[in-house]
Amino acid sequence: MDIKEKLRCAAEELTAEFVNALSLAGKELGLGEEADMIAAQTVLGSAELIKQSGVHPIELADRVCSPGGTTIEGLLSLKKDGFEGVVTSSAEKIIESK
């Protein structure tokens, strides 16, 4: 398996985990079972927007975040909690183990 295929496998697994975490958060906030579909559709829509826009994902994130807004608060929490490092480390482990 080459590095591209390993990265695709890692991305599929990590994306599924992210969708699950987003869904669990939605359920804890009262969305019920519809949280599964909302989380999946949101991630799908975000991926399509990144793909179609041709801009770097961080640039797209910057466009939707306004200072003092709710989205920036969530993004800052992800950064503070080390989201990028956790994803990178997980992807490396997946790639190394296959």
Q: Which domains are present in the chain?
A: 3-97 (1.10.3730.10)
pLDDT tens digit string along 25-76? 999 999 999 999 999 999 999 999 999 999 999 998 888 888 888 888 888 9
Residue 5 CA from chain centroid, whole number: 19
**What pLDDT is stored for residue 98 in this prediction?**
55
**Does pLDDT of 16 surpass 70?**
yes
- Give pTM, 2 decimals: 0.82
Cα angle 52, 7, 45 (rounded to 5 degrees) comes to: 30
Write out the E strands in the chain.
none
Mean local confidence (pLDDT), 6-18: 90
